[in-house]
Amino acid sequence: MEKNNKIQQLSNPKNKKIMRINKDLADAIMMVSFIVLVLVGTTTFDNEVTKNVTMGSLGVITVAMLVLRVIGSRQKEEEEAF
């Protein structure tokens, strides 16, 4: 009988844990990646391909953190609504 209760609790959508996004962590990573992006952009490189790949990857990280920050703020709004 106890096993059936555990199965019902696991299958109940109210008991599902939602992954929360830490807004402060997303902000910190976004700021650091943006600062490094500016530093890499103003530095002269021997190989232009290396510079472009580095700037592209840092740009992707910055945009991803911006998206995660927006998602995190929406999650917080939904929590406050309930």
pLDDT in tens, the chain (82 residues): 555 555 555 555 555 566 777 888 888 888 998 899 999 989 998 999 999 999 999 999 989 988 988 888 888 777 776 6
Q: Please, are residues 58 and 36 in contact by the beta-carbon 8 Å criterion?
A: yes
Burial of 7 (0-12, 13-18, 19+ CB in 10 A): exposed
Q: pTM for this structure?
A: 0.66
